[in-house]
A and B are shown apart, each in its own frame.
Chain A
Amino acid sequence: MSRSAQKFHRSLLAVAVLGASLSLSVQAEELRLLTWGGYAPQEVIDQFEKETGIEVKVTKSNNEDMISKLRATRGAGYDLVQPSQDRINGAQKEYRIYKPIDLSKLETDHFIASMLDATKKNTSVDGKVYGVPHIWGTSGLIANSSQQNLSFNDLCSDDFKGKVSYRLKRPTLIGFAFAMGEDPFAAYNDQKKYAEILGRVEQKLIQCKDNVKAYWSGGDALINLLRSGEVTLAMGWDAGGWKLHKETGKINFVAPKSGALGWIDTFALPAKGKNDEAAYKWINFVMQPEIAAKITDSAGNFTASVGAENYVSKALSNSYKISYNQASLDNIKWYPPVPAGLEQLEGKTLDRIKAAQ
């Protein structure tokens, strides 16, 4: 090897070492967060960065997308993710995309105890906990009318013909099943029974497909449809309904007669996350009541943080009080963990509904 070539190699090595050390130092200061829109408002990120020096990089996503992304990389690319509590167990058993959470690193006093316990139970695999609760909310109806006594069945009624929208996803199937007097959650572990229920829901949804204006796929698309008056009754998230209530004073979220469907979005650690310490710091940071209230104002949903409701804006708690009384709160149906195989059945049902003319 000539001298110049040797020199060249040495400088190349130096650059490589420098690059590696640089990227190491950058990683130590970074938290890559995969979450839902509104769950990490800029104000909170800035405050966190100021207090800890850790830079937060946010990617917005949804349940299916989170699992797909982590599955493709076998759990790499992010340090903290926020799937719903019912979607962790199955995904962990199937794809091994998460690592257990060390509860001793969390200030568990900040969590509402009942919600923490329920989430721990639902996200456990082989005795290890994979998720802690962050934000909870419900799916129900968003109505452009003063009627309070609505059920999912009204999505099929002639009063709203051509003015209806819902998602072609599993919550719709489950909501309709409850409205038809079934208990799909009780049938979760009985595939035959569950398939039977799905069959009836499918029939009903195909029959009243004419009622549907469009199937929505993103929260913003739904809000646009409702705001423009093109849709007057929709199945949707409470936060969307409250946002519209603040804007219009007329449209609001209604808990359906058969009970709203309750979900809890969690914190989970991806299997190949690189900065767990930062992830724990972020969780502890956002669970402080004042910070949690800021997130509630941005996301429109309430958190599992103790005492946060005292800091939440008036308008939101007013909309909330119109939508819910104690009875409808008690009637919320919380999603149990989804057993394997069910989503295949549901998928085919949804495909058939979509394909029906």
Chain B
Amino acid sequence: MLRFSGKNLSFYLLLTPLLLTLVLLVILPQLDMLIVSLRERISYGEYTFSLLHYQEFVNEPFYWNTFLRTAVMSIMATLITLLLAFPIAWYIAKIAQGRNKSLIFLACLIPFWVSELVRTYGWMILLRESGVISVFLQWSGLASGPVEMLYNDITVMTGLVYASMLFMVVPLVSTLEGMDDSLVEAAYDLGASTFTVIRTVILPYAMPGVISGCIVVFMLTLGNYLTPTLLGGKDSLWFTEQIFTQFITRFNWEQGAAFGVLLLSLSSLIVWLGLKLSGQSFKKAVAS
């Protein structure tokens, strides 16, 4: 029997908000989604149990093609973000000193003071056919006609990497800061090349940060809606867009819910595979 007194009581009181959020805002809606996804409409307001909407996903190539495309592009975006963010994080954690350090960190943070929508529209103003870059290229004589830089995969990728930069830099900086510089010095003293130092000393040490950064960025990118839709144009095709369309424009909540459940399980699977392949445990990554 639970006895709510003293220390015990305060523990449960402190835990309640967390539990309530988890149950009411995460677990219950997910369960409801699962239930909705497992029913089929037979007539006006009449439903029956069925796996139809999951079969639909398997049978229609363009649904799982879209999912595959989303997953591959998200993985690519995660890797590119990692490659770009690592040197920055290294510079912030190890090389920059005092004011410089906080300035660079601030520079990474500032874009996130405006909303994602505004940032994406910023890209659109720069890249569109009648936009800033196109006009500049024509003015300087580098291009003879208007240049359209929107509505292709490279633009989408740029937008995604830009949007997730911070979420990679922060965990990397915090792990790298904890690293003892003498480890690197010792490796050099023992005659290791720069590449060997990075591969055998720095990377293994930073691995928990890399993994947690990658998980966050991958999940954010996979679940992104605005950037691919606005920058991708007619060929954008993002899985979250499919979910939105099913719910809002097609009124097909059952199909949308099935996609939602699939997105959750498939992305969890990809993260799990990534952890297995890199030999890392989720626990360690979360702890970093």
How far is the CB of B15 from the nearest CB of chain A, in Å? 27
What 0/1 readout, one digit per residue, does chain B (47-73) give for beta carbons within 8 Å of chain A? 000000000000010110110000000
On chain A, which size bracket covers the interface? 20 to 34
In the complex, A71 has a CB within 8 A of chain B: yes
In the complex, A354 has a CB within 8 A of chain B: yes
Cβ–Cβ < 8 Å partners of B242 in chain A: 351
A209 & B62 in contact (Cβ 8 Å cutoff): no
Give the residue name and chain of the A residue nearest to B61 (CB): A355
B251 & A96 in contact (Cβ 8 Å cutoff): no
In the complex, A159 has a CB within 8 A of chain B: no
Query: Quick check: which of B87-95, B161-169, B233-241, B263-271 contacts chain A, the rest being far away?
Result: B233-241
Give the residue name and chain of the A residue nearest to B45 (CB): A94
Q: Which of B45, B62, B252 has the most CB of A within 10 A?
A: B62
Cβ–Cβ < 8 Å partners of A19 in chain B: none
Query: Quick check: which of A8-16, A45-53, A60-68, A116-124 contacts chain B, the rest being far away?
Result: A60-68
Q: Which of B45, B62, B151, B248 contacts A355 (CB 8 A)?
A: B62
Q: Which of B45, B63, B148, B233 contacts A95 (CB 8 A)?
A: B45
In the complex, B245 has a CB within 8 A of chain A: yes
CA distance A68 to B150 in the complex (A): 31
Give the residue name and chain of the A residue nearest to B65 (CB): A355
In the complex, A212 has a CB within 8 A of chain B: yes
Give the residue name and chain of the B residue nearest to A92 (CB): B44
CA distance A71 to B150 in the complex (A): 36
Q: Which of A71, A214, A355 contacts B233 (CB 8 A)?
A: A214
In the complex, B250 has a CB within 8 A of chain A: yes
CA distance A95 to B44 in the complex (A): 8
CA distance A353 to B246 in the complex (A): 15
CA distance A209 to B148 in the complex (A): 17
Evaluate whether A351 and B233 lie within 8 angstroms (CB atoms) in the complex, with A94-B45, A343-B250, A343-B251 already known. no
In the complex, A263 has a CB within 8 A of chain B: no
A67 & B45 in contact (Cβ 8 Å cutoff): no
Evaluate whether A354 and B237 lie within 8 angstroms (CB atoms) in the complex, with A94-B44, A229-B130, A230-B130 already known. yes
B234 & A214 in contact (Cβ 8 Å cutoff): yes
On chain B, which size bracket covers the interface? 20 to 34
In the complex, A187 has a CB within 8 A of chain B: no
Q: Which of A71, A169, A355 contacts B249 (CB 8 A)?
A: A169
CA distance A212 to B150 in the complex (A): 13
Within 8 A of B (CB), among A155-207: 169
A64 & B251 in contact (Cβ 8 Å cutoff): yes
B249 & A209 in contact (Cβ 8 Å cutoff): no
B234 & A215 in contact (Cβ 8 Å cutoff): yes
Cβ–Cβ < 8 Å partners of A355 in chain B: 62, 65-66, 237
What 0/1 readout, one digit per residue, does chain A (137-164) give for beta carbons within 8 Å of chain B? 0000000000000000000000000000
Cβ–Cβ < 8 Å partners of A64 in chain B: 248-249, 251
Cβ–Cβ < 8 Å partners of A352 in chain B: 62
What 0/1 readout, one digit per residue, does chain A (225-240) give for beta carbons within 8 Å of chain B? 0001110000000000
How far is the CB of A235 from the nearest CB of chain B, in Å? 14
29 interchain pairs, CB-CB under 8 A: A64-B249, A64-B251, A65-B248, A71-B251, A93-B45, A94-B251, A95-B45, A96-B45, A169-B249, A209-B234, A212-B234, A213-B233, A213-B234, A214-B151, A214-B233, A214-B234, A228-B129, A228-B130, A229-B130, A230-B128, A230-B148, A340-B44, A347-B249, A347-B250, A347-B252, A348-B60, A352-B62, A354-B237, A357-B235
Binding site for A on B (CB under 8 A): 44-45, 60, 62-63, 65-66, 128-130, 148, 150-151, 233-235, 237, 242, 245-252
Given A71-B251, A213-B151, 4 more A-B residue pairs with CB atoms under 8 Å apart are A214-B150, A228-B128, A228-B129, A355-B237
Binding site for B on A (CB under 8 A): 64-65, 67-68, 71, 93-96, 169, 209, 212-215, 228-230, 340, 343-344, 347-348, 351-352, 354-355, 357
